[in-house]
């Protein structure tokens, strides 16, 4: 086995046959951490964003945080209830894209697809950046190196997902459940102390004061404060991201796929709601203080700013310090579990993006390479593409969650709204023909649920667009528009190619004549083989041509040609500027102009080397000429290879890799 193949097998594991795809399907206990880690982990940063936005109006605005939390919980439960209908009605994995395309048309479906692609990339960038912040909180040497940590985490996730859905899901299940244990343990012990043990210690930031923006110097009234509450609500709605990934991931569930996906959605909704509301409540109890610009907006009791050296811990980190005061292992367990789940949250996108990309590629809107499964039956090209875009975003926004969050959730609420509209139309269409009373009642109930979901998600979409557009959401909207038109252009290209490739009766007719041309540079083994092969094909006319770039070399070639006694003429093409490609192209095109119905076949002798560095020692003129001839209508290009000894060694290495003992058993083809 070669070094490259050995490294690939160590990284990805053994290959899987196409027939083994059923072995990669997920039971519910594994599907929950795979698909629900994103919305579950959002409790690690969505409360932070609510408090940071409200801090613009001073600490007094924190009293509205629990009301915002309840509104978000209502929206989340409505979306979960709606998507339980989606996953049972559409199980192919197309999710919102399929629902919108079938019921609202291809243009709306493509808009949803572009929105989801952008949102998946942002899911990875936001989750990993937040995880890097938690890592910097727990490990002081990492402070200031969050970008590096985030990029390495994205690459590690990419490698794990390239190993396959089931294997990555099994690896992520334990950390995800540990996070649930950590948060519920934190919440349970915190509420126990507050209600039964005399109260909770205050957060380290509790004695700090928040300097409100000048806009709110007159208090918490007016349109400006109302707009601030809407902004806080919009930022907190990041809790809902990831719900749509289950709709895209239905094919990964074990049968019955729709019912298992719906059950996973219900469990996800209940866990996310209880976690988010509990964290917001505890944050108010221990009096957490956060600010967008803590160095200047947070003041010590003596009135001095905390300064640039102050490290603002996330909400869960501050709560954990208070709840587990005097018990450092509890704090480190919660912080570590939260950091890990934030990394794993990106796994939701790693499962959703490649599947959606493969469906879009199948429909001709993305390059067809995205529809191809890799060695481990995962959509490897989609996984790599997602990682690349996420790394670009992390570097561009310096791994700052607050900057990235402004771009977030716009796409997901676009897909939510279009999907629920499509589902309402779906049930309406089925009701026109359904006569069974029981089935009609079920459909009416489903339509009512999806209609309620539509009203909620459409309202939130308007709020998100109004409050986040100038803050950065316009970048996400622009990206969606660019992807939409790129996908349209790709589909247009594929349609043109399909029309051009459609066979007609005249395409089966034979050419009038075949004019064969053999390219000659020297009289050696590759040339003689090319001449022999051209003669064996029995063209109507056959000649050899060479380009005169050196008079002495051309004279020697003509002498060698006569001495070899080859039975075909050798024509010399003049080249006063010592070009090789141009004279040959002109000569071939001249033949085509004289006889448009003839086919010209150009035989190019090539010798094949087996080592990469040997390629650098040759001028690759045959490759360049071949590339130019391929664009000439009516010209067929035939390469006649001559393998050098080093190529035989390369072939032996390939044979050893392909036919090693036990290779078939281990998955090698």
pLDDT digits (tens, 9 = 90+) for 74-94: 988 888 888 888 888 887 666
Q: Would you say residue 458 lies in a domain? A: no
Our count of domains for the chain comes to 2
Distance CA 288, CA 48 (A): 10
Q: Would you say residue 431 lies in a domain? A: no
Bridge partners of 298, per DSSP, are 210
Q: Would you say residue 62 lies in a domain? A: yes
Residue 11 has pLDDT above 60, yes or no: no
B/e letters for 168-202, b = 16+ CB within 10 Å, e = fewer, are: bbeebbebbebbbebbebbbebbbebbeeeeebee
Distance CA 340, CA 531 (A): 65
Domain shared by 126 and 273, yes or no: yes
Q: Which two tokens stand for residue 41?
A: 């982990």
Check which CATH number belongs to the domain holding 640 and give it: 3.40.50
- The pLDDT score that the predictor gives to residue 8 is 46
How many C-beta atoms surround the C-beta of residue 625 within 10 A? 19
Cα 482 to Cα 108, 315, 360, 371, distances in angstroms: 15, 36, 16, 21
Name the more confident of 553 and 32. 553
Q: Would you say residue 568 lies in a domain? A: yes
How many C-beta atoms surround the C-beta of residue 560 within 10 A? 16
Domain boundary among 357, 376, 405: 405
State the first-to-last Cα distance of the chain, in angstroms, to the nearest integer: 13
Domain shared by 153 and 267, yes or no: yes
With tokens 């770039």, the residue in question is: 549
Q: Which two tokens stand for residue 236?
A: 């907190």
Check which CATH number belongs to the domain holding 351 and give it: 1.20.1740.10
SS3 198: coil
Cis previous bond, 256, omega within 30 = yes
Q: Would you say residue 422 lies in a domain? A: no
Q: Which two tokens stand for residue 93?
A: 């994995």
Rounded mean pLDDT of 230-237? 85
Cα-Cα-Cα-Cα dihedral sign, residues 249, 366, 369, 363:
positive
With tokens 């939130």, the residue in question is: 460
Domain shared by 399 and 531, yes or no: no
Distance CA 262, CA 519 (A): 66
Domain boundary among 373, 405, 437: 405
Q: Would you say residue 500 lies in a domain? A: no
pLDDT 10s digits, 175-216: 888 889 999 999 999 999 999 888 899 998 999 999 888 777
- The pLDDT score that the predictor gives to residue 10 is 46
SS3 518: strand
Distance CA 316, CA 47 (A): 9
Q: Cβ-count burial of 643 within 10 angstroms (0-12 exposed, 13-18 middle, 19+ buried)?
A: middle
Q: Would you say residue 486 lies in a domain? A: no
Residue 251 has pLDDT above 80, yes or no: no
Residue ranges making up the domain that contains 122: 3-405
How far is CA 379 from its chain centroid? 10
Span of 31-40, 295-304, 493-502 with lowest mean pLDDT: 31-40
Residue 475 has pLDDT above 50, yes or no: yes
Domain boundary among 385, 405, 425: 405
Residue 667 has pLDDT above 50, yes or no: no
Domain shared by 149 and 270, yes or no: yes
Domain shared by 103 and 226, yes or no: yes
3-state secondary structure 300-352: CCCCCECCCCCCCCCHHHHHHHHHCCCCHHHHHHHHHHHHHHHHHHHHHHHHH
Q: Would you say residue 663 lies in a domain? A: no
Residue 655 has pLDDT above 60, yes or no: no
**What are the phi and psi torsion angles at 605 (to 5°)?**
-70, 135
pLDDT 10s digits, 591-616: 988 888 889 999 999 877 767 666 66
Distance CA 374, CA 31 (A): 21
Percentage helix, strand, coil for the chain under 3-state DSSP, each rounded to 5: 70, 5, 25
pTM across the whole model = 0.71
336, 304 in Cβ contact below 8 A? no
């Amino acid at each position: 086995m070669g070094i490259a193949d050995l490294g690939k097998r160590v990284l990805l594991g053994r290959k899987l046959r196409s027939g083994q795809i059923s072995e990669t399907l997920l039971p519910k206990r594994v599907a929950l951490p795979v698909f629900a880690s994103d919305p579950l982990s959002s409790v690690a940063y969505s409360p932070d964003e609510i408090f940071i936005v409200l801090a613009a109006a001073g600490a007094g605005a924190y009293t509205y945080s629990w009301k915002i939390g309840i509104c978000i919980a209502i929206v989340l439960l409505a979306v979960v209830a709606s998507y339980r209908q989606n996953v049972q009605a559409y199980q192919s994995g197309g999710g919102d894209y399929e629902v919108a395309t079938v019921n609202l048309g291809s243009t709306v479906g493509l808009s949803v697809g572009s929105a989801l692609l952008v949102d998946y990339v942002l899911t990875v960038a936001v989750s990993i950046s937040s995880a890097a912040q938690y890592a910097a909180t727990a490990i002081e040497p990492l402070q200031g190196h969050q970008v590096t940590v985030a990029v390495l985490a994205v690459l590690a996730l990419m490698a794990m997902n390239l190993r396959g859905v089931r294997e990555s899901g099994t690896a992520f299940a334990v950390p995800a459940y540990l996070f649930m244990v950590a948060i519920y343990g934190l919440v349970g012990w915190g509420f126990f102390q507050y209600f039964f043990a005399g109260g909770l210690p205050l957060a380290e930031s509790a004695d700090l004061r928040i300097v409100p923006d000048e806009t709110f110097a007159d208090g918490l009234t007016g349109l400006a404060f109302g707009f601030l509450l809407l902004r806080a609500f919009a930022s907190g709605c990041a809790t809902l991201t990831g719900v749509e990934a289950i709709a895209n991931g239905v094919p990964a569930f074990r049968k019955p796929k729709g019912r298992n996906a719906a059950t996973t959605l219900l469990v996800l909704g209940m866990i996310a709601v209880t976690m988010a509301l509990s964290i917001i409540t505890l944050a108010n109890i221990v009096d957490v203080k956060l600010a967008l610009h803590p160095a200047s907006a947070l003041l010590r009791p003596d009135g001095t700013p905390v300064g640039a050296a102050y490290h603002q811990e996330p909400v869960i980190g501050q709560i954990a310090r208070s709840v587990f005061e005097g018990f450092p292992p509890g704090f480190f367990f919660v912080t570590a579990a939260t950091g890990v789940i934030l990394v794993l949250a990106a796994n939701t996108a790693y499962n959703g993006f490649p599947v959606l990309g493969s469906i879009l590629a199948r429909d001709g809107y993305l390059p067809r390479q995205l529809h191809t499964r890799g060695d481990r039956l995962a959509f490897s090209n989609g996984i790599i593409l997602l990682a690349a875009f996420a790394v670009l975003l992390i570097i561009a926004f310096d791994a700052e969650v607050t900057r990235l969050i402004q771009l977030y959730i716009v796409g997901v609420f676009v897909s939510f709204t279009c999907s629920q509209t499509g589902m309402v139309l779906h049930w309406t269409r089925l009701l026109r023909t359904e006569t069974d009373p029981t089935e009609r009642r079920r459909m009416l109930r489903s339509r009512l649920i999806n209609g309620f979901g539509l009203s909620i998600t459409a309202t939130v979409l308007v709020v998100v667009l109004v409050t986040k557009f100038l803050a950065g959401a316009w970048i996400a909207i622009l990206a969606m528009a660019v992807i939409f038109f790129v996908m349209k252009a790709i589909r247009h290209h594929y349609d043109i190619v399909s029309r051009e490739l459609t066979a007609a009766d005249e395409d089966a007719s034979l050419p009038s004549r075949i004019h064969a041309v053999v390219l000659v540079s020297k009289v050696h083994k590759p040339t003689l083989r090319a001449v022999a092969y051209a003669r064996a094909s029995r063209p109507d006319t056959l000649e050899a041509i060479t380009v005169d770039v050196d008079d002495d070399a051309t004279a020697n070639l003509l002498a060698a040609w006569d001495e070899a006694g080859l039975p075909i003429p050798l024509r010399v093409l003049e080249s006063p500027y010592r070009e090789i490609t141009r004279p040959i192209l002109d000569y071939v095109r001249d033949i085509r102009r004289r006889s448009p119905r003839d086919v010209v076949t150009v035989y190019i002798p090539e010798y094949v080397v087996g080592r990469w560095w040997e390629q650098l020692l040759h001028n690759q003129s045959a490759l360049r000429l071949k590339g130019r001839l391929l664009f000439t209508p009516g010209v067929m290009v035939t390469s006649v290879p001559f393998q050098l000894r080093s190529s035989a060694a390369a072939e032996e290495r390939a044979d050893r890799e392909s036919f090693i003992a036990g290779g078939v058993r281990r998955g090698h083809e």
